[in-house]
Amino acid sequence: MKKIKRNNVLIILVVLLLALAVGYAAFQQVLTVTGTASAAGTWEVKFIDPTTITTGHGTATITADDAVTVNATLGFPGDGCQVTVHITNTGSIPAKLTKLELLNATGLAAFADDDITITTPAIQGETLAAGETCEFTFAIAWNEDSTATTKDVGFQIKFTYDQNTTPVTVDTEHPTHTNS
């Protein structure tokens, strides 16, 4: 009799265990998120027209997307001109001007001359969003106290742009539950 009761109890426990397993499985739901992530960007910062120089003082010509050639003609001590170039970001990545250098003709040292002065604006740190254009005007002047009767001087102005992106901060915390 004890054996029959024990067997019945074991059978009831097994049935209850199976019922619990079936009941749990009946209330289980698996949710799945699927997707793709694509990353693509273009980098292109370049000179565009119009490039101008003060009338009667020479030429400023775009010779490549990344080069402008300036041939300034100054007539006397105290004479000067302004050159304006346009820089555009035709890419999709924001750009930031991280370095602006005024160099000698070889590009190996800073520009320095007692008779000719070149003045550039302080625009380091300026940003260019995708599709944006900025105007950059610099001045070339023959110093009025110069005693030189002729002067030929070469120079380079180098613009260094880097990507100006801020990493996205992703919040992975579990949000508060709401009743709907």
Q: What is the pLDDT of residues 144-167, one digit of tens each?
A: 999 999 888 999 999 999 999 877
Which segment of 16-30, 41-55, 84-98 scores lowest on mean pLDDT? 16-30
85 with 97: CB under 8 angstroms? Answer: no
Dihedral over Cα of 105, 108, 112, 117: its sign: positive
Note whether 111 and 104 are within 8 A (CB): yes
Q: Which strands make up the sheet holding 133-142, listed edge to edge? A: 45-53, 80-89, 133-142, 116-119
Q: Identify the pLDDT of residue 46.
A: 94
Q: What's the rounded Cα separation, in Å, for the pair 15 and 9? A: 10
User: For the residues 5-16, what does the mean pLDDT come to?
Assistant: 77
Most confidently modeled range among 13-17, 64-68, 133-137: 133-137
As a whole number of angstroms, the distance between CA 60 and CA 161 comes to: 22
Torsion-angle region of 131 (φ positive above 0: left; ψ -120 to 50: alpha; else: beta): left
d(CA 154, CA 150): 14
Residue 74, H or E segment: none
Specify the fold of 45-163: Immunoglobulin-like (2.60.40)
| Span 55-93, pLDDT tens digits | 888 888 888 888 888 989 899 999 999 999 999 999 999
Cα–Cα–Cα angle for 25, 29, 32, rounded to 5 degrees: 140
Amino acid at 123: I
Structure token digits, residue 79: 């004479």
**What CA–CA distance (Å, rounded) separates 66 from 131?**
17
- Residue 60 burial class via C-beta count within 10 angstroms: exposed 0-12, middle 13-18, buried 19 and up: buried
Token pair of 111 as six digits: 């520009």
